Structure 1
Amino acid sequence: MGTAPTVPSTALVTGASSGLGKEFASQLAARGHDLVLVARSRDRLEAVAEEITRAHGVKAHVVVRDLAQPDAGRAVARELADRSLTVDLLVNNAGFGTAGRFEEIAAERDHDMLMVNVVALVDLTHALLPGMLERGTGAVLNVGSTAGYQPSPYLTVYSASKTFVLNFSLALRQEYRGRGIRVTALCPGPVETRFFEVIGTRNAAVAGSFTTPEPVVRSALKALDRDRAYVTPGFGNAVMAHLNPRRPRTLVAWVGERICRKALQPEAVHGAAARSAAN
């Protein structure tokens, strides 16, 4: 099993104002990390920073940015440079989803989702990983989903974005093994966050049972400590993750369409926003 790597001094967490992002911030602060918290909701972000600083005595810097906007990832990197902040652990957590028939989902919403789930994630990694490499140490933890293990009709663009996150993480990890950089992908099943409120129905959790952020984040950080390529918390989720790639892709898509029909049965959720405030 080996000894866990030295804890990096400063961690940046995107989507840090609620849900998994807030839990990542809390657990990392408990480990002694200073933090850079990124989200688009200033009030909630500052409240999280104040709470964490009071509880753990670490520094918690706030960067307010909507990651769906063009050049958002690079803008965050420029702000870090202006404030002389060095990041040793990047947690690309921000993300949201869409569900329904492809032609009925607003193109603008899918576009914004890809900007957050894919483009900002890659841009931030491009911006911060070279500094880690120069210092000879660092880590990247990317948040994917069990939806990324197979085609998921009616969650079509969302699941494809999470497939990108997983494959990007696995490839990046191979590039930097032996060079002081760890890369891990977290691929959870349904988690009790605002994610499903934003989609508009808990029926979008087409497989697996709900869990809470605390054990998911704990599993992710343990996997990163052990330099694992990816982690899928929960026995049932892990079994699915390992079995699906061993089936013909067209068969997996056929089965996925039948399972994911559940997402077409809307469950009214009051107060759903256009996009997750965690982003």
Structure 2
Amino acid sequence: MTRYAMITGASAGLGLAMAEALARRGRSLLLVARQRDQLEIIAAELTQRFGVEVLFRACDLGEPLRLSGFLLELEESERQIDLLVNCAAVRSYGHFLAQDWSQEQDLIELNILALTRLCHALGNAMAVQGGGQILNVASLAAFQPGPWMSSYAASKAYVLHFSEGLREELKQTGVKVSVLCPGPVRSSQRRIPRLTDSSLVLDAEQVALHTVRALDRNRAVIVPGRRNAWLARAARVGSRWLTRIVSGRVNKAFAPH
């Protein structure tokens, strides 16, 4: 029976780069995102370039009813997914009180609830199969408070701690859990103009290559880039009040205006 790597948020950015990196290794893929037209093009291109089977499903994972329907489809199809890559996420920038609440709720639904539900459903399926691997994508922002992007940073802190806890819980089931905490990621869709020349910024393809190698080694927490890794460690040992102030100034300066 064919085993699939399922990637959410696969239509652009890091999700797309992960799809290409895994297809290059001969992995069969199930790509999930909201944009059906883009997924169809990507699936055809990856199949042509790498000769792998690429399935796709257009689904807004932040909508609980649609997510329920998608999970039911997976269960009824009996497709075996042995790698789950949770890339789908949304961001919010700016003063929290000035944000539209519906957008903040969408962030929580997708970044936290959908990711957790996918881990629960597919983690159970993997345990029954006798093993598998889950990669949740957090962020370098997960290591410190994030003024001016408070909801996003908090959601990624949840992903980091949830993933580390889940890793310990699932050890005896054969299911491996890792969490990716990249810094700013440059892609064809997201150029990050204010940070283009920063050594903290890596191309999505660089991050994906680093990540698949780290998955081979079953790394618990994956932080691509030496400077990013240093910042992650510094945030954990530094003074909380100073971290809040510095993080807030950086986020406010680089947030879109």
Residue 158 in structure 1 maps to residue 152 in structure 2: yes
Q: 1:36, 1:265 → 2: CA distance?
A: 33
One of 214, 225, 245 as aligned partner of 2:205: 214
Residue 175 of structure 1: how far off its partner (Å): 0.9
CA RMSD in angstroms, aligned pairs only? 2.0
**Larger proportion of helix:** 2
Equivalent residue, structure 1, for 2:60 = 66
Distance 1:98 1:126, change over 3 A: same
Residue 209 of structure 1: how far off its partner (Å): 3.0
Task: Give CA-to-partner distance per residue, 1:177-223, whole Å, 9 cap, x none.
Answer: 243111111110111137757xxx75599x86322111101111111
Letter in 2 for 1:249: R
CA contact (8 A) 1:11 1:90 kept: yes
One of 238, 247, 250 as aligned partner of 1:256: 247
Q: 1:265, 1:85 → 2: CA distance?
A: 41
Residue 97 of structure 1: how far off its partner (Å): 0.5
Aligned residue pairs, count: 255
Residue 92 in structure 1 maps to residue 86 in structure 2: yes
CA contact (8 A) 1:72 1:120 kept: no
Give the secondary structure class of the aligned counterpart of 2:102.
Answer: helix
Q: 1:117, 1:63 → 2: CA distance?
A: 19
Letter in 1 for 2:216: D
Query: How do 1:1-279 residues align onto structure 2 when only pairs under 5 Å count?
Result: 9-193=3-187, 202-203=193-194, 209-264=200-255, 266=257
Q: 1:246, 1:193 → 2: CA distance?
A: 31
Residue 61 of structure 1: how far off its partner (Å): 1.1
Give the secondary structure class of the aligned counterpart of 1:66.
Answer: coil
Residue 36 of structure 1: how far off its partner (Å): 0.8
Give the secondary structure class of the aligned counterpart of 1:142.
Answer: strand
Residue 264 of structure 1: how far off its partner (Å): 4.9
Moved more, 187-196 or 173-182: 187-196
Task: Give CA-to-partner distance per residue, 1:104-143, whole Å, 9 cap, x none.
Answer: 1111111111111111101111111111111211000011
CA contact (8 A) 1:100 1:264 kept: yes
Give the secondary structure class of the aligned counterpart of 2:120.
Answer: helix
CA contact (8 A) 2:12 2:189 kept: no
Distance 1:70 1:202, change over 3 A: farther
Q: 2:150, 2:199 → 1: CA distance?
A: 18
Residue 72 of structure 1: how far off its partner (Å): 3.8
Q: 2:147, 2:177 → 1: CA distance?
A: 29
Q: 2:139, 2:255 → 1: CA distance?
A: 19
Moved more, 132-141 or 8-17: 8-17
CA contact (8 A) 1:191 1:213 kept: yes
Distance 1:108 1:202, change over 3 A: farther
Using the size of structure 1 for normalisation, the TM-score is: 0.85
Q: Which 5+ residue runs of structure 2 have no aligned equivalent?
A: none
CA contact (8 A) 1:204 1:262 kept: no
Distance 1:10 1:102, change over 3 A: same
**Larger proportion of strand:** 2
Residue 254 of structure 1: how far off its partner (Å): 2.2
Q: 1:233, 1:117 → 2: CA distance?
A: 21
Seq. identity, %: 37
Q: Which 5+ residue runs of structure 1 have no aligned equivalent?
A: 1-7, 267-279
